[in-house]
Copies of this chain bind each other. A is one copy, B any other.
């Protein structure tokens, strides 16, 4: 378990993915395409954002492979890339939900 430059690259890539998710607008977009593909204009309307901004952000989401795109005629449909994305979002929501509950044991924090 010594630190290789492979690990460093991984950390950098990991940070990049989280940085992409660390923006409220991109997160909104991601949630909108979580369980079905949607065209860009549709996403923009649902999120209340300009088409240009949505396209820019979809570009970054796609660059991190958080979403995938498919063209159908003039429209481009975007959808969440894989199950990990959904899992991570769910886990993080649970994490946030955990407000200092006085509840159970109190072992080593």
A residues whose Cβ falls under 8 Å from a Cβ of B = 10-24, 26-28, 31, 37, 65, 68, 70, 79, 81-82, 84-85, 87-89, 91-96, 98, 108-109
Q: Is the interface of A mostly helix, strand, loop or mixed?
A: helix
Contacts of A28 in B (CB 8 A): 11
Q: Are B15 and A93 in contact, with the CB atoms below 8 A?
A: no
**Considering the chains assembled together, what is the distance between the CA atoms of A79 and B107 in angstroms?**
13
Q: Which of B17, B91, B108 is in CB contact (< 8 Å) with A84? A: B91
Q: Are A24 and B17 in contact, with the CB atoms below 8 A?
A: no
Q: Which of B14, B23, B79, B89 is in CB contact (< 8 Å) with A93? A: B14
Q: Are A13 and B88 in contact, with the CB atoms below 8 A?
A: no
Q: Are A15 and B19 in contact, with the CB atoms below 8 A?
A: no
